[in-house]
């Protein structure tokens, strides 16, 4: 593997290897403190980010490496019209590995075609977010002890939610998993996922979270993303479609976990944070360790 553009670039054994490395990093942090000494990560965020950008930068610094880059496209030459291909060629001369978030689907793929160093996709439009998926898989494995034979609920914006698309693609590769797809009709998953990913996988679609919550091992909540809507009226109409509350959690299994890629708006009430089944802040913390493992792998460390 030279780049990570989508989660299918990784085999299941490679995912297992990354999870094992992340576990070892947590158990033995000093062992990895100088693993990337002298190496430079280029952090290229053409779109706003908090968790992903900071966790990548923290990951590289925790490995002893350095970070260059930008957190706003207006601070880059793309504001002058520079192409992704040219930016990539230039950055390849300054860094050893790069991570890119871009609002246009396929931009990290283009970067990988022109880069002399490993490229990591940190999210491209509404398409993919493979390192969030690695974070999610790592979290599920820690919280539930397995990645197979799970009943998974995906709730909210399933149309534009790139985290959902990547997670569905990943978990569908593990045996025995089934899915409840919970969304308004306008925010159902894109058509290509039905044929490319789901195929013969067991799933059902519903607009009613409470009709399936008692059956779930894991509930993955997502926000309705204002930035993906062309029509403000549609966003306002759909933004409060699902709000998870402590009362609703009473209907769920005692060991069901609640995950969320964050940021949340109001789709999970803050009262749920005190529930031990609320795993989303632990999930955010886990992102640093699995990204450390990925950087090590791509740099051949």
Statement to judge: residues 68 and 19 lie in one domain: yes
Is the CB of residue 102 less than 8 Å from the CB of residue 76? no
d(CA 224, CA 247): 22
The encoded tokens of residue 6 equal: 């989508």
Is the CB of residue 119 less than 8 Å from the CB of residue 3? yes
pLDDT at 127 (0 to 100)? 76
Q: Name the residue among 222, 226, 225 with its Cα closest to residue 283.
A: 222
Statement to judge: residues 182 and 248 lie in one domain: yes
The encoded tokens of residue 59 equal: 């990951």
Statement to judge: residues 269 and 294 lie in one domain: no
Q: Does 215 map to a domain? A: yes
For the chain, 301 residues long, the average pLDDT of each consecutive 10-residue run is 91 97 98 98 91 95 96 60 88 97 92 95 86 97 97 92 90 96 88 91 93 97 63 55 90 97 90 98 97 97 86
pLDDT at 265 (0 to 100)? 85
Statement to judge: residues 82 and 148 lie in one domain: no
Catalytic residues: 51-52, 80, 101, 129
The encoded tokens of residue 260 equal: 């969320």
- Asked, as a colleague might, if the bond just before 227 is cis with ω within 30 of 0, I would say no
- Domain residues for the domain of 255 are 130-284
Q: Does 86 map to a domain? A: yes
Statement to judge: residues 145 and 64 lie in one domain: no
User: What's 153's domain CATH number?
Assistant: 3.40.50.1370
Statement to judge: residues 106 and 17 lie in one domain: yes
Statement to judge: residues 226 and 269 lie in one domain: yes
Residue burial 263-279, b: 16+ Cβ < 10 Å; e: rest: ebeebbeeebeebebbb
pLDDT at 242 (0 to 100)? 78
Q: Name the residue among 76, 161, 167 with its Cα closest to residue 130.
A: 167
User: What does pTM read for this prediction?
Assistant: 0.91
Statement to judge: residues 140 and 179 lie in one domain: yes
Q: Does 273 map to a domain? A: yes
Q: Does 1 map to a domain? A: no
Statement to judge: residues 32 and 99 lie in one domain: yes
Total of domains in the chain: 2
Q: Does 169 map to a domain? A: yes
């Amino acid at each position: 593997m030279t780049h990570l553009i989508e989660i299918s670039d990784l085999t299941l054994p490679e995912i297992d290897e990354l999870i094992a490395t992340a576990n070892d990093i947590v158990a033995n942090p000093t062992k990895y403190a100088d693993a990337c000494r002298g190496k430079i990560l280029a952090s290229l965020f053409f779109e706003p980010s908090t968790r992903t950008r900071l966790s990548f930068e923290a990951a590289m610094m925790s490995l002893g490496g350095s970070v260059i880059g930008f957190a706003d496209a207006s601070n880059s030459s793309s504001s002058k019209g520079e192409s992704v291909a040219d930016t990539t060629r230039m950055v390849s001369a300054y860094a050893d590995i790069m991570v890119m978030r871009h609002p246009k689907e396929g931009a990290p793929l283009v970067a990988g075609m022109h880069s002399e160093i490993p490229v990591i996709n940190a999210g491209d439009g509404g398409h993919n977010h493979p390192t969030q998926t690695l974070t999610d898989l790592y979290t599920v494995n820690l919280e539930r002890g397995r990645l197979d034979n799970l009943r998974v609920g995906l709730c909210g914006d399933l149309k534009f939610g790139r985290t959902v698309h990547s997670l569905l693609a990943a978990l569908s590769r593990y045996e025995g998993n089934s899915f409840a797809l919970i969304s308004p009709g306008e925010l159902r998953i894109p058509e290509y996922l039905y044929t490319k990913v789901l195929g013969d996988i067991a799933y059902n679609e519903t607009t009613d979270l409470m009709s399936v919550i008692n059956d779930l091992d894991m509930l993955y909540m997502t926000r309705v993303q204002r930035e993906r809507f062309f029509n403000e009226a549609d966003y306002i109409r759909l933004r409060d479609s699902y709000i998870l509350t402590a009362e609703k959690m009473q209907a769920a299994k005692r060991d069901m976990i609640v995950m969320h890629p964050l940021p949340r708006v109001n789709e999970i009430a803050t009262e749920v944070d005190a529930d031990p089944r609320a795993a989303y802040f632990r999930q955010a913390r886990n992102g640093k360790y699995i990204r450390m493992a990925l950087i090590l792998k791509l740099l051949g460390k």
